[in-house]
């Protein structure tokens, strides 16, 4: 049997040797990562906790990893925050949040035991490094009288002098839901009923607008309209729009994240509009947000893999985080309820090093080379016009990933990301992504972040995230082409330096 320390060292070396491992996106030191948890800024320092299995790149006996940063892009590992114990989390410490209980850092999370999850609580040291879980759940069971699909994941805030909590769930025969609770002390909770219930019918896995039979990773907050709109905890006395983030789930399948815009009266949430939070579906799953000291609403998501279990085992790692994103509510975005838009946090630009120089090519074509890159494009796209951006392309075209932005007759822009030729390897998800973008801007603004096997696209603030797995070392070309009534007015690109902590260790 290999000693744990040797196993950890070998696993890290294996993971860091994989050329498809992202270099500037956050990943665990090795092994398995999924949902972002407890994202917060505490005493000026950013904290990222996350679902983590240190034993290997597979989901089992989940712990909470922990990392800290001064700038949201350069991270240092801290000791494991939570590990499965002998009580209500003996099968795993699942997703949750960090709150400030009168100066005491406190984690509310889902402990898994006997095949089900229940709300648990852990109290932390002032540096957030040492955590002491309670030996019992703080809620013993789902509400009586409701037949629920699942019961896990938490959003906790202070409102009117009391604690409020949402737990992700679903009501059999009805749809996904977020169950609302109230407490004086975070330890004894009173059920207040469903905050809102979705539409669980029909079961259509191929319908990108279907919200599933259960809502995971619920998050709820206030966000006033405008690029600098005030954001904060839910408040039933506020007329500000309230936003509910959730991830659609169905019978063990992680489907896609959504965000609902509406009004909140202190007990119930009335939805005016639901939009897809990311057009890449499950590749930007389990979002969680927080408000930082700059007043930004910052969102993290888990970038799920798109290669099979055998490839993940051979790589020694699985899962990464998206780049943190700032959310804002565009009241003039083409819908009466507004449109939620996202952009990479400004700190990402501090990772830019040398600009990527254009490669020789035909007139009207822009071409660069890079696999860890930040690309900015501005274009005028008239009705019928189309902009094509080819990513991770080999010189002979054997491997390539294609982004297309087309202006329809109704004024909306259709986005398609085609992964059919993205890899020569088997066992990879090469299905396409598609969606639409509505904006009143004269010029279309496109931002693309590439990082070894990840692609994050932002078209006028609408995100599309995916994973691709090119096999050839020359799959590095980035080509921008326009046709019809499309004109590129600006195209720039930079190499992004890796931000992964050197010499990372799997801490006990």
Give the whole-angstrom CA distance, residue 56 versus residue 58: 6
Give the whole-angstrom CA distance, residue 409 versus residue 201: 32
CB 58 within 8 A of CB 78: no
| Mean pLDDT, rounded, of the chain | 95
* The predicted structure's pLDDT at residue 339: 96
**111 vs 357, more confident:** 111
Using DSSP bridges, classify how beta strands 31-42 and 317-318 pair: parallel, antiparallel or unpaired. parallel
pLDDT (tens digit, 9 = 90+) per residue, 135-170?
999 999 999 999 999 999 999 999 999 999 999 999
Alpha carbons within 13 A on the beta-carbon side of 343:
16
Checking if the pLDDT of 3 tops 80, the result is: no
Give the whole-angstrom CA distance, residue 188 versus residue 193: 16
Checking if the pLDDT of 358 tops 60, the result is: yes
Token pair belonging to 357? 């120089």
* The predicted structure's pLDDT at residue 4: 45
Find tokens 């959003």 and name the residue: 155
Give the whole-angstrom CA distance, residue 82 versus residue 94: 10
Percent of the chain with pLDDT over 70: 97
**Would you give the distance in Å from CA 100 to the centre of its chain?**
23
Checking if the pLDDT of 26 tops 50, the result is: yes
Q: Name residue 343's beta-bridge partners.
A: 326
Query: 365 pLDDT band (50/70/90 cuts)?
Result: confident
Query: 363 pLDDT band (50/70/90 cuts)?
Result: low
Give the whole-angstrom CA distance, residue 48 versus residue 35: 10
Helical ranges in 271-362 per DSSP H: 309-315
Q: Name residue 288's beta-bridge partners.
A: 300
Give the DSSP per-residue string, 70-139: SSSSS-EE---SB---SSTTTTEEEEEEEEEETTEEEEEEEEEETTEEEEEEEEE-TTS--EEE-SS-SS
pLDDT (tens digit, 9 = 90+) per residue, 236-274?
999 999 999 999 999 999 999 999 999 999 999 999 999
Checking if the pLDDT of 74 tops 50, the result is: yes
CB 480 within 8 A of CB 389: yes
pLDDT (tens digit, 9 = 90+) per residue, 185-227?
999 999 999 999 998 887 888 899 999 999 999 999 999 999 9
Token pair belonging to 125? 């040291």
Give the whole-angstrom CA distance, residue 258 versus residue 266: 22
Catalytic residues: 35
* The predicted structure's pLDDT at residue 508: 58
Average pLDDT (423-446) is: 96
């Amino acid at each position: 049997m290999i000693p744990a320390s040797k196993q950890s060292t070998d696993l890290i070396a294996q993971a860091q040797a994989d050329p498809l491992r992202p270099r500037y996106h956050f990943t665990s030191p090795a092994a398995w990562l999924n949902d972002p948890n407890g994202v917060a800024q505490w005493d000026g320092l950013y904290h990222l906790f996350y679902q983590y299995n240190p034993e290997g790149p597979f989901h089992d006996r989940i712990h909470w990893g922990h990392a800290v940063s001064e700038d949201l892009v350069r991270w240092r590992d801290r000791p494991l925050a939570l590990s499965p114990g002998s009580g209500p989390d003996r099968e795993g410490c699942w997703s949750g949040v960090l709150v400030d209980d009168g100066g005491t850092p406190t984690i509310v999370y889902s402990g898994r035991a006997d095949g089900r999850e229940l709300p648990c609580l852990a109290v932390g040291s002032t540096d957030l490094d040492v955590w002491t879980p309670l030996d019992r759940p703080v809620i013993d069971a789902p509400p009586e009288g409701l037949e629920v699909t699942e019961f896990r994941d938490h959003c906790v805030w202070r409102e009117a002098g009391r604690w409020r909590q949402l737990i992700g769930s679903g009501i059999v025969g009805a749809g996904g839901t977020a169950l609302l609770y109230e407490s004086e002390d975070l330890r004894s909770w009173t059920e207040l009923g469903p905050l809102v219930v979705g539409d669980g019918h029909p079961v259509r896995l191929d319908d990108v607008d279907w919200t599933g039979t259960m809502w995971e990773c619920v998050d709820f907050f206030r966000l006033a309209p405008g690029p600098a709109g005030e954001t904060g905890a839910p408040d039933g006395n506020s007329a500000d729009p309230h936003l509910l983030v959730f991830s659609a789930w169905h019978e063990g399948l992680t489907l896609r994240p959504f965000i609902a815009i509406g009004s909140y009266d202190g007990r119930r949430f009335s939805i005016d509009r639901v939009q897809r939070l990311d057009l890449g579906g499950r590749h930007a799953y389990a979002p969680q947000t927080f408000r930082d000291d700059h007043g930004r609403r910052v969102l993290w998501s888990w970038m799920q893999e798109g290669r099979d279990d055998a490839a993940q085992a051979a790589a020694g790692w699985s899962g990464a985080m998206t780049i943190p994103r700032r959310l804002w509510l565009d009241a003039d975005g083409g819908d009466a309820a507004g449109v939620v838009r996202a952009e990479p946090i400004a700190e990402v630009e501090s990772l830019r090093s040398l600009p990527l120089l254009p490669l020789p090519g035909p007139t009207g074509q822009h071409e660069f080379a890079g696999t860890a890159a930040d690309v900015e494009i501005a274009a005028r796209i008239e009705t019928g016009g189309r902009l094509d951006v080819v990513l991770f392309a080999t010189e002979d075209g054997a491997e390539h990933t294609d982004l297309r932005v087309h202006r329809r007759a109704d004024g909306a822009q259709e986005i398609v990301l085609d992964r059919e030729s993205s890899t020569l390897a088997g066992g990879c998800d090469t299905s396409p992504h598609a969606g639409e973008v509505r904006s009143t801007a004269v010029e279309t603004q496109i931002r693309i972040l590439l990082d070894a096997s990840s692609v994050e696209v932002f078209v006028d603030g609408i995100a599309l995230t995916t994973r691709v797995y090119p096999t050839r070392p020359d799959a590095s070309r980035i080509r921008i082409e326009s046709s019809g009534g499309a004109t590129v007015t600006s195209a720039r690109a930079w190499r992004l330096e890796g931000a992964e902590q050197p010499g990372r260790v799997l801490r006990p």
